Each structure stands twice: as structure tokens, then as C-alpha cells.
Structure 1
Amino acid sequence: MTAVPVIDVRGLTKQFGDKLVVDHFDISVPRGAIYGFLGPNGSGKTTTIRMLCGLLSADEGEGTCLGFDVRRQAGEIKKQVGYMTQKFSLYEDLSIRENLDFVAQMYGVKKRKERVSKALVDLGLADRAGQLAGTLSGGWKQRLALAACLIHDPQLLLLDEPTAGVDPKARRDFWDEIRRLSKDGVTVLVSTHYMDEAVQCDFITYIAYGKKLIDGPAAGIPAQVGLTTWRAEGPALAALEEELIGQHGVAQIARFGSTLHVSGTDAAALESTVRQFEARGPQHWSQQPAGLEEAFIYLMAGAQDNFSRDAA
């Protein structure tokens, strides 16, 4: 028997004035999955997340979240969702413990003091419980925000650019906690534009300027796009890049550190061009599987900004 998705929506649409911010968005999310929302700033990720968790009403579309109708039962959805916004939104003049206690009161958490103490321990905040939130670093604010999201034991977490502005170690610690929650059956939707975070998601949906371009298991996204990628290493990469522009079969060229990644959807044409450059040297060429970053660069190249004059 197929499990009922935690989120199952079709045609979600939102317009602000004459701008279509989310354009007939569909998604189906299995329980316990980490589902990544990727896309550039202004692509509609935050608006979509807010519609899914009942904070914003859709203009069109239908479906369910946690078994409740996304357009008619928003209040019920909000009770069972933890939502972490891009900007730290707790009280900076309250301590860590006071903030968690306040959020627990809002949700009517039973045995509130015990639950707050457990949250402090679970997120490594116990030793700082009396510290004012406003004096915390970005990484510690992030932990506090996540603890507040989890205080009422939600079934679904919606995380909007949760690691923006924190150091790499804090990001790693955050993702360790997210994977632990996923193993415990909590479903996680996370918006990000960090590729190293995207690869940690079970599924990915890529949104560009209001439209969903692609979704599916993270490992299978490059194959869905249909890219073939060759890597060039060696001297004079800048000059090589200039020469490759417009060559037969070359759809995109991307610099990754000391290598050049050359991709296209016509594998035979691309290989023919690569062999010509390989024979001439001095760079060394090798074929490699296309990655998520190559796939998303390619998708973005064909996406039109819905806030540009041309799209108006």
C-alpha cells in the first residue's frame, strides 16, 4: 500500500499585483523526506513555503498538507508545522530559556518547563540558557531558532534559507540535526541556494522566477536535465573558455577552481568538439557525470525573470 504524502498539492498559484510570483506549482512530499527548494532570490521559494504551511492563501490550486486542505484548513496546518524564517525572529532582549518558554506557551505545550529543558539539552543550548538571544553569534541564533521550531514536536519543518550568514561548522552541525530529525520521521522542506546543502536532500525541486523547472530524487536531477560534462585541467583555462564559447555542442562553460566544466545536451557533438581541443592541447580532458550545479546553471540559463521588463 502506497503511503499518503505529507504534502500533496497541485496548481498552487500566487500573484501580487500584475506579477505572477508562483505559477501553478505541484509537489508531492513523502513522510520523513528532506525536500530541498532551490532557486535564485526572488524565484518564489518563500512564497510557496508560506502557502504550504498556511501562512499565505493561494489564489488558485488545491491539495493537502498533513491531511488538511491547504486553502481551507490553514489554522490546523499551522498547529503542526515548525517554520524557521530567513531572519532571526525571536526576542533579542530575552534569554534563550525565556524565548523557548514563550514559544512553548503560545503552542500550549504540556509540561512546558520539562519540554523547554529537554529542548535546551537536545540542541546543545543548556550551558547558555541564561544568555540573552541578542548577544548570540549567527550559529547559536540558528540553534535557538531551530529549538523554537521544534518545541511543539511538529510533524513538518519548513526552513527558509536557514543557514544564510553562518559559518561552515555551524552549517554542518545544523544539517546533522536535520538528518537526525528526518530519521525520526519528521518531514523537512528547506529552501537553499548552497549546492553542498542540496546534495544532502533526498529530493529537490528547482524553482526559477515562479515556475517549477524540475523535481525528483536529488541524485537523478542531472540525468533528467540530460547533460553531458567534460572537465578540462591545465594551463590557460581563461583563453580556452573564450575559444569554447559558441562551439558545436557546447551549451555551457563553468569554472570550478582550477578546472573548466564544459557541458551540453548533445553528447556526440560535444565530444567531437572536445576531441578537437584535446588533440591540440595543452589541457587534459576527461568526461565526468554532470552534477547538480551544472544542471542548475543550465536550467537557469533558460529561465526568464518574471520581474524583468521583458516578462511583464
Structure 2
Amino acid sequence: MDSVIDVSGLTKSFDGKRVVDDVALRVGKGQIYGFLGPNGSGKTTTLRMLCGLLTPDAGSGTCLGFDILRQSAEIKRRTGYMTQKFSLYEDLTIRENLDFVARVYGLDRIRTRVDAALDRLGLATRQRQLAGQLSGGWKQRLALAACTLHEPELLLLDEPTAGVDPKARRDFWDQIHALAGEGLTVLVSTHYMDEAERCHEILYIAYGRLIAKGTISDVIATHNLATWSVSGPGLHILSRELQALPGVDTVAAFGTVLHVCGRDEATLERSIAPYRNRPDLIWQRSSPSLEDIFIQLMSGLDNHNGAPTPSLPPAQGDAH
């Protein structure tokens, strides 16, 4: 698969604080890559360095075949970037906003391009509506139309579905997969695990470091996290008791069920054995979810002041 992005050693600091630390990344054409991580982890900074909006302090590589340090202007011309905050003009209509964006890009066939964008994203019947009167989901569609109007080769989406209802989120992802099917490469940062599972591959960043990457199944398999689910009465009390046991790395509530996870399977099973004999509790061996993996990763990092330790499996291979 052709590499649209191939960078290594990306590093960026602000006011003496290292926000991105030695990130290496290879991204294939026509794929959707999910950037995950807590607030302040360096996701947005990494995206901005890749598309030429920020110059890294260190590192090198290419994006769309252009050098990220010397040819950032060429990268920006071929990239669509959708920010988390709606940034179009609320006192203009949908069509007026798209017309304006087309003129800023200096595009030809403006009417044809705008008509196609309106049709593709289901905006044609609302084209005379003011952008400020749109709901979050419709604003999202307009923003996506605007950042793909110039037919980019790479699309960067910075938490695009924050505050959007589930139906609008699903519609948005249907559009993203349609664009990827046409050959567009997409990098999207998100906090939602269900959205991460819609990506072809994921990249997890914490404290500026890339600590996990690959397909969902690869990331889950790599971490060898033994997981049990338990349901019954008094789960809030049970959770506190289990968290204090040897071999129990994390305990997380999912509705009326607790997920009990540990990297040392034998120690975990010895610790929970007395609880499995309780008649009021129902225990089942289960597969870890993506969220289980990331809770465990963050727990390990937080316990070591953000520094990866040998007990945390390293990121495996390159995303490609």
C-alpha cells in the first residue's frame, strides 16, 4: 500500500513542555486512521504538524510525497482540515459559505463544485438556510462539505463529532467511509471508542507518546489482557474490594456489569477465585474491549507519572 504519510521523530514543545515526543507514523492511502488519547495528549498538535500548520522542533518525513519541513505549502493545498469548533460564517447561508470557501481556494467551476457538495452531503434542500440556524449535525455536514470542496487527497478531522447526536454521528461516518472508498485518506481524532472501532487502524497517544497502534484486533491481541465480567448486587462495593487485589490492574463499570482485567492471568484468577464462589455473583470470562485496553494503558501510565514502563506493551509495528 502506498504511504501517504511517512514521518519519524516528530517532536514539539510549547513553553518548555514537550507536547509531542518522538512520534513515528506511516499511513496508507485510502485508509481511515483513528487518533485516540486523553485531552492534552498531543493529538491535535500531531495533526497540525502533519498538514503543515505547525513546524516540528525535530523530526522529518513526507506527507503526500512532500517534505513536511520544506514543502508545507504544497501539503496544505492538498489537505482538508476540519476543526473541532464550527468555523464557518453563521450569518451566511449554506450555499454562500461554500461559495466563499471555493473562492478562497481559487477553484474553477464553482457552481458545479458547490452543487455536487450539496448533493453529496444531503444539503441541497437546506442550501438557503443560515448556517447559524443549523443543528450540530447539520453544521458538521456543512463543515465536511467545505473542507472537501477542493478535492483534497488527505482529510484531517479534529474531534469532528463532539456534541453531535448518535444518528448524526452515524451519518457522518457513513460519509467518511464513502470518501475513503474513493481513495481519500482520513486521520480523525476522537474520544469515542465506538468511533475508533469504525477506523481501519488506530493510534493511541498519551503524554505526547505513541503507545499503541494497529488494527483493533491487533491492539487487543498484543496486550494479552485477561478479562472477566461480573454482575450482581453491590457492585460499587465489590469494585473497591477487587481493585485492591493482586493481579487486578483495572476494574471498570459498564452498565450493570464490571470488567475485571489483569495482565497476569494466573494471579488474577487466584485473586478472584473466592468471589467466583459467591452465589449472588455471576462471573463470565470475556474478551477485553478496546476501552478495557485503554483504561489499562492509562492506569499504568498514570501510576508512573506518564512514563511508559516495561510492563506496558510497546506499540507494535507501523500503521500501514
Scaled to the shorter chain, the TM-score interval is: over 0.9
Instruction: Tell me by how many angstroms 1:304 deviates.
Output: 4.8
**In the alignment, what sits opposite 1:215?**
213
Q: How many residues of Structure 1 are paired with residues of Structure 2 in the alignment? A: 306
Q: Does 1:199 align with 2:197?
A: yes
User: Under a length normalisation based on structure 2, what TM-score does the superposition of the two structures give?
Assistant: 0.93
Greater displacement, 285-294 / 230-239: 230-239
**In the alignment, what sits opposite 2:141?**
143
1:15-164 to 2 correspondence within 5 Å?
15-164=13-162
1:103 partner SS:
helix
CA RMSD of aligned residues (A): 1.6
Instruction: Tell me by how many angstroms 1:105 deviates.
Output: 1.4
**In the alignment, what sits opposite 1:178?**
176
> What amino acid is the match of 2:187?
L
Instruction: Rate the CA distance shift 1:154–1:305 in 2: closer, same or farther, 3 A.
Output: farther
1:180 partner SS:
helix
> What amino acid is the match of 1:255?
A
The correspondence for 1:262, drawn from 260, 263, 277, is 260
Q: Structure 2 CA distance, aligned partners of 1:208 and 1:227?
A: 19
Q: Structure 1 CA distance, aligned partners of 2:241 and 2:212?
A: 31
Which structure 2 segments of 5+ residues have no match?
307-320
Greater displacement, 213-222 / 258-267: 213-222
Q: Structure 2 CA distance, aligned partners of 1:304 and 1:236?
A: 27
1:190 partner SS:
strand
> What amino acid is the match of 2:287?
P
- Kept in 2, the 8 Å contact 1:93–1:132? The answer is yes
**In the alignment, what sits opposite 1:297?**
295
Instruction: Tell me by how many angstroms 1:307 deviates.
Output: 11
Which structure 1 segments of 5+ residues have no match?
none
Q: Structure 1 CA distance, aligned partners of 2:94 and 2:59?
A: 39
1:280 partner SS:
coil
**In the alignment, what sits opposite 2:309?**
none
2:189 partner SS:
strand
- Kept in 2, the 8 Å contact 1:90–1:145? The answer is yes
1:143-186 deviation digits (Å, cap 9, x = unpaired): 00000011011111100000001111110100111111111111
Instruction: Tell me by how many angstroms 1:113 deviates.
Output: 0.7
Q: Structure 2 CA distance, aligned partners of 1:162 and 1:275?
A: 44
1:189 partner SS:
strand
Instruction: Tell me by how many angstroms 1:219 deviates.
Output: 2.1
1:240-279 deviation digits (Å, cap 9, x = unpaired): 1122122121111000000000000011111222322111
- Kept in 2, the 8 Å contact 1:209–1:305? The answer is no
Greater displacement, 265-274 / 37-46: 265-274
> What amino acid is the match of 1:84?
M
Greater displacement, 289-298 / 103-112: 103-112
Q: Structure 2 CA distance, aligned partners of 1:281 and 1:110?
A: 72
> What amino acid is the match of 2:136?
G
1:239 partner SS:
helix
Greater displacement, 155-164 / 205-214: 205-214
